[in-house]
Structure 1
Amino acid sequence: MHVRPDLRSSCFQLSGVDAARLEAKTSAKTSAYLYMLRSYVKFLPSDPHARFPLGICSAVVASAELACHLGGRTAFCASSTEGIAMGFVNRVILVLASTATAVAAPAAPPGTLSHSDPVVETPVGAQAWRIRYWTTSDQGQPIEVTGMVVAPREAIPAKSRAVLAWTHGTWGVAEQCAPSRSANFFAATPGLSDAMRRGFVIVAPDYPGLGNPTSHAYLGGIEAANSTLDAVRAARQIAGAASGSRFVVWGESQGGHAALWTAQRARTYAPDLQLLGVVAAAPPTDLAANLRAGSDPSVRAFLTAFTAYSWSRHYGAPLANLGNRSTQGIITRLAQNNCVELGKKPRLGTMLGVLALRKSLQNVDLGTIAPWSDFARRNSVSASLTGVPLLIAQNPNDKIVDPKVTRAFASRVCRNGGRLQYLPISGQGHETSAKDTAAATLTWAAARFSGTPAPSNCGHF
């Protein structure tokens, strides 16, 4: 008998080790085994995000392996029978794990870099680091999150480099969907080569709950903004990146929403940073309107599943008032088992689930059902963005983010005195919004760094 692979990967997660890098197996039940591990070894820190040393983790796994090998009966074994060795092994685990509380890594101030791991294979002219750093949850609690930093592969300049904070679009709502874990990260980051040629540092947060075992608040404004601002802070602690405190934030879709929220929070949350501009491509702004107005019913059902599952876990909103047990089960499975993968078609099971949700959710409007409507309202973007220049790009044929909702938001910003350029996109559609405007975005960002006054076409779109 052998230890369940889930225990091994769970233990590595508790140690802050990237299980994928260790080629440890993972499964949808990993979170359950994390709970089992903490329940079984009661001396582990009660904080679900606390770390304990890899050596202790390895010893715990080794002890559990011994128990299974000797015939012990435990939930950690892949199969088990009664064994007489469990009393001894329990005591071994007890002794090993009892030291964990004393040495668990304490929380650090927001923006503190806790680890940077150089990436071996990068695009030509670029160097990169996968990072872990500390940020603040929407409940004001310290949490450790992940992301990526990419910088030009050249001599460190005399002055700090300009920073482009890239806030990604929807990759999923489960921990395994973190962009920094994906082999497609560089291919999926628009304008990367051009940004390197211009000397920019790209700072790309994963967002809380992606790449780390917290719950992900899909379209949750506060946590996305905090993690973006703290990623910019953390990048400054990587000597080879030579990144500065001046930055422009650029996001697409979910990331466009995150970029706008970053503008809302920058001045109060991170006064040590200087936000020079915001670019939002196809951004959800009025969440209730966006969730009901998308013209592609399949995508609308899929994103409603992501939203419902995420908000039920993060905010405690009840899935029960959205549908019966079957509907709730489909929502959960779609969210837990699907990451948006570049260039890949959805699996058959995913397509069947989406079709079922199209029918069961066709009359469900999250914007009119409490408490979902409250969460939609509190995470919508304020139109009082008057302190920083904005570039909002929107494809008039977008089937996912309704152009009318985006245009109405941009008009409200203009009426409130904001300086905004509205850029129509003539590309393929929603999924290429950032790619189709990358050249214009980087030119606009470079002008903000050079001090050129930002253009505005308020009243003319």
Structure 2
Amino acid sequence: MDSYAHASTLEQAQLKESRNALANEAFYQAPQNGNAPTYAGALIRQERATDYILPPGVQAYRILYHSLDATRHDVVSSAVVLVPAGPVPAGGWPVVAWAHGTSGVARQCAPSLMKNLYYGNEGLFDFPAHGLAVVATDYHGLGTSGAHQYMNKLAQGYDVIYSVAAARSAVPALGSRWVADGHSQGGMASWSVGEMEHDIADPGYLGTVSVSGTINMPDFVHPLPGEGGESFYTPMVAYGLQARYPQFDPHSMLNATGMVHYDGAVRQGCWYVANALYDGQSIDSITKKGWLDNKFVQSMFHEDAVAGQPLKGPLLVITGGGDVTVPPEGVKATARAACHNHIPLFFTELPGLDHDPTMVQSTAMQIAWIKDRFSGKPAMENCESLK
């Protein structure tokens, strides 16, 4: 998401987002035909996409499909399918179900409504370059109507899982085997996929990669002194809380200073605009005292907790030692807790790397690990090193 090249002013942020934006409102409209199937994973519509900036030979398709929200109610989600260049391998293209990091919470912040697909040059295009098809969900409420349940592991996990089924209906060249991979917000979503697949037990699902994942929500929303933290995520979290719990009032979390730019950050702009609006402010300077004890915030922490439930398939957890957005100690503590709960995984910390550089610099590692899953190699584990 190119987020380590911040726009320095609000005007520059707005210009950056507008230059990357695509207009395609009609495609994302929910169907009005009451006779169409509405089961999770049902494909609603598809189209060949020719308006992205893609590597040579890669084909892209937009899809609209049915998914579930955190309370398992039907929602409509969108996604992009990237098909590698070259002949289709026997059994179809191996699939990476991609879960993106925070792009914003407004409807126009869907990666599929961006010319560069948001993560295009931050590792996403490396997957098809290595013979891996990509199914990249937007998460419902981004692109499609309805509020985005930001930072909810259930909602985002469902969107990832059901994007794969819908994509196969749209692109028959996709194979039955797939791996989940996500960064930041998507790192929590991909971990959630592993938990869900323990019960769903899709035989084609082979494992999960979680990169710089928000898998320790208390540490993400209010890092310890010295761990960093970015204040502009806070209004997005408030927005996501209200989307998940309609009774929640953002005013109970954000103070007057925090509310000044709330609408601009969660409705009028996306990542860059929100970053510019809250530039120079700390999390504590825009929140009310005691907000962490709010019952809805506590419910979010409980619902988003990982490391206590078993996963299907192996797990690769990556963090950056210099990450000031998702503190590495919180990620490591969660991985350690998972190991203590007999959840096998391989954990690695990349020294000195901040949030987005961790994604970029670890892409080759991710691809190697994913290809090992498709080749049937046993996954390495290193829980002993976390004790």
TM-score by length of 1: 0.72
Tell me the SS of whatever aligns to 2:230: helix
Question: How far did residue 116 of structure 1 move?
Answer: 1.4
Q: Distance in 2 between the 1:187 and 1:408 partners?
A: 27
Question: How far did residue 330 of structure 1 move?
Answer: 2.9
1:115 corresponds, among 33, 45, 52, to: 45
1:423 corresponds, among 336, 348, 360, to: 348
Structure 2 unmatched runs, 5+ = 1-20
1:164 corresponds, among 72, 75, 96, to: 96
Q: How does 1:9-24 map to 2 (within 5 A)?
A: 20-21=23-24
1:207 corresponds, among 118, 128, 139, to: 139
Q: Distance in 1 between the 2:202 and 2:312 partners?
A: 16
CA 1:19–1:239 in structure 2 vs 1: closer, same or farther (change >3 Å)?
Answer: closer
Q: How does 1:338-417 map to 2 (within 5 A)?
A: 338-341=269-272, 346-347=275-276, 350-351=277-278, 355=281, 358-361=284-287, 364=289, 366-417=291-342
Q: Which letter does structure 2 place at the counterpart of 1:360?
A: I
Tell me the SS of whatever aligns to 2:155: helix
The answer to whether the Cα contact below 8 Å between 1:395 and 1:426 also exists between their aligned partners in 2 is yes
2:249 corresponds, among 298, 314, 318, to: 318
Higher relative contact order (CA 8 A, sep 6+): 2
Q: Distance in 2 between the 1:402 and 1:158 partners?
A: 42
Q: Which letter does structure 2 place at the counterpart of 1:339?
A: C
The answer to whether the Cα contact below 8 Å between 2:326 and 2:355 also exists between their aligned partners in 1 is yes
Q: How does 1:54-69 map to 2 (within 5 A)?
A: none
Q: Distance in 2 between the 1:199 and 1:136 partners?
A: 30
Q: How does 1:112-261 map to 2 (within 5 A)?
A: 112-120=42-50, 121=52, 122-185=54-117, 188=120, 190-239=122-171, 242-261=173-192
Q: Which letter does structure 2 place at the counterpart of 1:315?
A: Y
Instruction: Point out the structure with max Rg over C-alpha.
Output: 1
CA 1:295–1:256 in structure 2 vs 1: closer, same or farther (change >3 Å)?
Answer: farther
Q: Distance in 2 between the 1:208 and 1:415 partners?
A: 34
Alignment of 1:458 with 2:360, yes or no, is no
The answer to whether the Cα contact below 8 Å between 1:394 and 1:423 also exists between their aligned partners in 2 is yes
Give the root-mean-square deviation of aligned CA atoms. 2.8
Q: Write out per-residue CA displacement over residues 375-408 of structure 1, whole angstroms, 9 at most, x where no aligned residue.
A: 2221222333353211111111111111111111
CA 1:386–1:178 in structure 2 vs 1: closer, same or farther (change >3 Å)?
Answer: closer
Q: Distance in 2 between the 1:222 and 1:22 partners?
A: 26
Q: Which letter does structure 2 place at the counterpart of 1:456?
A: E
Partner of 1:60: none
Q: Distance in 2 between the 1:395 and 1:127 partners?
A: 32
Partner of 1:66: none
Q: Which letter does structure 1 place at the counterpart of 2:100?
A: H
Q: Write out per-residue CA displacement over residues 353-381 of structure 1, whole angstroms, 9 at most, x where no aligned residue.
A: x63865232x6454322222112221222
Question: How far did residue 329 of structure 1 move?
Answer: 4.3
The answer to whether the Cα contact below 8 Å between 1:386 and 1:413 also exists between their aligned partners in 2 is no
The answer to whether the Cα contact below 8 Å between 2:100 and 2:136 also exists between their aligned partners in 1 is yes
The answer to whether the Cα contact below 8 Å between 2:234 and 2:283 also exists between their aligned partners in 1 is no
CA 1:294–1:146 in structure 2 vs 1: closer, same or farther (change >3 Å)?
Answer: farther
Q: Write out per-residue CA displacement over residues 117-166 of structure 1, whole angstroms, 9 at most, x where no aligned residue.
A: 11225321311101101112222222211011001132333312211111
Q: Which letter does structure 2 place at the counterpart of 1:319?
A: P
Q: Distance in 1 between the 2:290 and 2:227 partners?
A: 13
Count of aligned pairs between the two proteins:
362
Q: Write out per-residue CA displacement over residues 177-214 of structure 1, whole angstroms, 9 at most, x where no aligned residue.
A: 00011012175364344422432111100001111111
Tell me the SS of whatever aligns to 1:199: coil
Q: Distance in 1 between the 2:79 and 2:37 partners?
A: 18
Q: Distance in 1 between the 2:297 and 2:48 partners?
A: 41
Q: Distance in 2 between the 1:387 and 1:402 partners?
A: 26
CA 1:365–1:332 in structure 2 vs 1: closer, same or farther (change >3 Å)?
Answer: farther
Question: How far did residue 296 of structure 1 move?
Answer: 7.9
Q: Which letter does structure 2 place at the counterpart of 1:381?
A: V
The answer to whether the Cα contact below 8 Å between 2:266 and 2:274 also exists between their aligned partners in 1 is no
Alignment of 1:300 with 2:230, yes or no, is yes
Question: How far did residue 337 of structure 1 move?
Answer: 2.3
Q: Write out per-residue CA displacement over residues 223-253 of structure 1, whole angstroms, 9 at most, x where no aligned residue.
A: 111110111111111345x112211111111
Q: Which letter does structure 2 place at the counterpart of 1:207?
A: Y
The answer to whether the Cα contact below 8 Å between 2:254 and 2:286 also exists between their aligned partners in 1 is yes
